[in-house]
Structure 1
């Protein structure tokens, strides 16, 4: 773990005393903290006080799906900072009250001194390399092998790889524990390999699509934060449902240790489909969760189905045109190419091209707010950027409902998650039907 420079250590001490006594941090002291913590919050240099919310780093954080799921659906308060390279997505998140650092995550140091008290990492790497809508480069064995070779080095690079004979090397039978510590053994782990995080990232250069390499950031940040002294409790990730099993297995293996004996006793991946949890659009994704103790992921599946028409307040029988006028198939009487679907069921999975969707009955185009509602966002959510950018954000984002379901157990609200999701979706999609105008006295 890196030590704080003397001036920063003094500032941390003074600021901590101020916080403990309910006093503001002196401006000159805060300036020292701010400079040392950059680009992270100055307060993150200070240890949390009892009752403070846990600190969470969100990577490839986008417009705020995970953040909305935690805060708005679950009602849990966390001290979170997201990182994303997309300026419009960062602007959208900030408009919703979520903090963002707009930068490439691979340029940041996971062992930054301001990250020593982080408790969780959440990441949503871009999925086009793996998804059916992309070029499938993430399915190519050569790329998988390059990625997995880097994944396999992360625990050793961070100093959290178990030696072959842990009992002999550093266990109770070790006759020279001080010597073991001197050569780098600690807490039963072998010394760090000496490979830096930037050197590991450089090994990903031969990938045919650089976005594939962002999958390794989950473990680069996990072990980098642990090396910085962060008491990590859980990791979460969202990715395409076509994520190769070999990648999932290698991530799990690196966390669990070669003999399935690592500190991360729970590491599980599940493919979840959004419409099974009451959302009015289909969206199949792989969700990965790792934790220090046994956890559950998946949540209730007995939530009523919501159709696209119900979510948007349309009448029955409406159809949606996705690709303009198409030739009519004489056999079916319908346009060729499958460019229409019924709104009386959950909609097709949104992509950036959903900006061209139109209601067949009157030609009205889908709005950005309606697209957001289909993936679980409030109508008041303020999408930033052009129409094209906003629709792409809605297509890529993690649904707040799915974020809530995946994180409910690790955030301590598993028992309440069904009621919380139902309440959120009722307000989002069903409130107009539940409100009877006769219940309100409008005479006054």
Structure 2
């Protein structure tokens, strides 16, 4: 575990005493903390006091799906910091009141001193390499092998590989504890391999799509945080439902210590469809949850279905055109390629191209707020950037409703009543749309 410079230690002491006395932290002291903690908040260098919210780090945090699920749907008090490379997504999250660091995650150090009190890790790596809409490069065996070779080295790089999995220099037992500590054995684990996190990242260079390698950040940060002294309690991930099983199995195996006996024994993965949880659009995603105590992923049973028309305040019988005018198939009498769906059920899964969807009856297009509503955001959510950017954010984001359901167990908050109340506010109000033309963008 890394130590702080003397000047910073002094600032931490002064700030801690001020907090205990209920006084504000002096501005000069706070400036020292912010500089030392950068790019993370200076307050994270301070030990939590009783009653402080738990600290959570979000990787590939986007415009705020996980953040909204925690804060708005569950109403949990969590000190969360999100990291994302998209300026527009970060701007959206900040406008909604969520903390964002706009940076390339692979350039940051998971063992940073400011992260030593983090208790939750949330990761949503980009999914185009694995999803049906992408080029499927993430499903090519050569790429899977490269990624999995790196995944298999992460626990040893962090110093969390059980001695049974490698050559134990002291034999079956270690009678001389001082010698064991000098060699590097600690808390039942073997010494660190000597590979840095950047060394592991460099091994991903042969991948044909660099985005595949971002999956490794899940374990790089999990074991990096632990190596930095963080009391990590849970890890949550969202990814394409087409993520290869070999990758899922290797992540679980590495967390479980190689023989299903590690601290992260409770590591489960399941494909969940947001429509089964009352979200007004279909979104099948793989959710992964690991915890130091037994927790299961949720089921959406007994949650009422929300139709697109119901969410947007449309009347029955409306249809949505997704692909413009297409040739008619004489065998079926319908457009080739399927360019319409009924709004009397959950909508098709949104993509960035949902910005061109039209209501068939009058040619009116969705607004960005309506797109957000379809994936579970409040109708006033402050989407930032161009129309194209906002729709892409809504297409990529984790639904807040799904975030709340998945994280409810590890945060100790029952989710169903809160999700139902949240959906009742935004999905089942007859007067959500009053027919004002400004509610829509008119198709050209």
TM-score range, shorter chain: over 0.9
**Given the superposition, is the C-alpha separation of residues 44 and 170 from structure 1 closer, same or farther in structure 2, using an over 3 Å criterion?**
farther
Indicate the residue corresponding to 1:423 in structure 2.
421
1:104 and 2:104 equivalent?
yes
Instruction: Give, in whole Å, the separation in 2 of the partners of 1:227 and 1:181.
Output: 15
1:273 and 2:265 equivalent?
no
After TM superposition, list the pairs within 5 Å mapping 1:340-359 onto structure 2.
340-359=340-359
Of 65-74 and 20-29, more deviation after overlay is shown by 20-29
Indicate the residue corresponding to 1:61 in structure 2.
61
After TM superposition, list the pairs within 5 Å mapping 1:205-216 onto structure 2.
205-216=205-216
Shift of 1:333: 2.6
Shift of 1:171: 10
Residue pair 1:299, 1:417 contacting (<8 A) in 2 also: no
**Deviations for 1:120-161, whole angstroms, at most 9, x for unmatched residues?**
110100000000000000000000000000100000000010
**Given the superposition, is the C-alpha separation of residues 273 and 231 from structure 1 closer, same or farther in structure 2, using an over 3 Å criterion?**
same
Instruction: Give, in whole Å, the separation in 1 of the partners of 2:362 and 2:326.
Output: 17
Instruction: Give, in whole Å, the separation in 2 of the partners of 1:366 and 1:28.
Output: 49
Instruction: Give, in whole Å, the separation in 1 of the partners of 2:58 and 2:225.
Output: 13
Residue pair 2:313, 2:429 contacting (<8 A) in 1 also: no
Structure 2: which 5+ residue stretches go unaligned?
A: 433-444
**Given the superposition, is the C-alpha separation of residues 266 and 324 from structure 1 closer, same or farther in structure 2, using an over 3 Å criterion?**
same
Indicate the residue corresponding to 2:236 in structure 1.
236
Instruction: Give, in whole Å, the separation in 2 of the partners of 1:84 and 1:91.
Output: 10
1:73 and 2:73 equivalent?
yes
Instruction: Give, in whole Å, the separation in 2 of the partners of 1:206 and 1:284.
Output: 30
Structure 2 SS opposite 1:402 = helix
Indicate the residue corresponding to 2:133 in structure 1.
133
Of 100-109 and 18-27, more deviation after overlay is shown by 18-27
**Given the superposition, is the C-alpha separation of residues 345 and 27 from structure 1 closer, same or farther in structure 2, using an over 3 Å criterion?**
same
Indicate the residue corresponding to 1:15 in structure 2.
15
1:246 and 2:254 equivalent?
no
Structure 1 SS opposite 2:58 = strand
Structure 1 SS opposite 2:235 = strand
**Deviations for 1:221-260, whole angstroms, at most 9, x for unmatched residues?**
0111111100000000000000000000000000001121
Structure 1: which 5+ residue stretches go unaligned?
A: 435-444
Residue pair 2:313, 2:431 contacting (<8 A) in 1 also: no
Structure 1 SS opposite 2:329 = coil
**Deviations for 1:198-218, whole angstroms, at most 9, x for unmatched residues?**
110000011000000010001
Indicate the residue corresponding to 1:157 in structure 2.
157
Instruction: Give, in whole Å, the separation in 2 of the partners of 1:91 and 1:167.
Output: 49
Shift of 1:370: 0.9
RMSD over equivalenced CA pairs, Å: 1.6
Shift of 1:330: 2.8
1:174 and 2:174 equivalent?
yes
Indicate the residue corresponding to 2:404 in structure 1.
404
Shift of 1:166: 9.6
**Given the superposition, is the C-alpha separation of residues 193 and 62 from structure 1 closer, same or farther in structure 2, using an over 3 Å criterion?**
same
Indicate the residue corresponding to 1:263 in structure 2.
263
Shift of 1:165: 7.6
Structure 2 SS opposite 1:56 = strand
After TM superposition, list the pairs within 5 Å mapping 1:289-368 onto structure 2.
289-368=289-368
Shift of 1:31: 1.5
Shift of 1:173: 4.5
Structure 1 SS opposite 2:200 = helix
Shift of 1:275: 0.6
Structure 2 SS opposite 1:182 = helix
